[in-house]
Amino acid sequence: MSIKSAYIHIPFCVRICTYCDFNKYFINKQPVDEYISALIKEMKTSEIRNLETMYVGGGTPTALNLKQLERLLKAIQSTFSIKGEYTFEANPDELTLDKVKLLHSYGGNKISMGVQTFKPELRKFLGRTHKTQD
């Protein structure tokens, strides 16, 4: 059996949503740079280089700042050849145009947007701060 897909977990979030049961941490005061360094070190130990798909989830990968996100993207690009779907999870609150451009420039071709609901009362209940317009 050959491995054709990979998942990278970024366990950091700008806010912690009450409904989410994934492994995540509030990003403030977390060792984000050290975590990225550990991910890069682990990626380099992989014998797998050619992938059909890559999924970067979390947490919220777009909670990383531009410098951190680019460091991760460079490491992924220099380690793997991704032939097909290259997905990043995102929340409307922290997905900026600069981050979209950066993801695209490194081959990202799909964004999984954590909208959850367009109803304001449900967003408030879930602890979501984005607006429908976002």
Domain assignment of residue 131, yes or no: no
> Which residues on adjacent β-strands are paired with residue 12?
25
Domain assignment of residue 35, yes or no: yes
Highest mean pLDDT among 5-14, 71-80, 84-93: 71-80
Domain assignment of residue 60, yes or no: yes
Here the CATH number for the domain that contains residue 113 is: 3.30.750
Q: Could you tell me the residue range of the domain that residue 94 belongs to?
A: 5-126
How would residue 81 be classed by pLDDT, with cut points 50, 70 and 90? Answer: very high
- And the tokens for 5? 């897909």
Domain assignment of residue 134, yes or no: no
- And the tokens for 104? 């695209």
Single pTM value for the model: 0.84
Question: From CA 3, how far away is CA 6, in angstroms rounded?
Answer: 8
Domains identified in the chain, total number: 1
Question: From CA 114, how far away is CA 97, in angstroms rounded?
Answer: 16
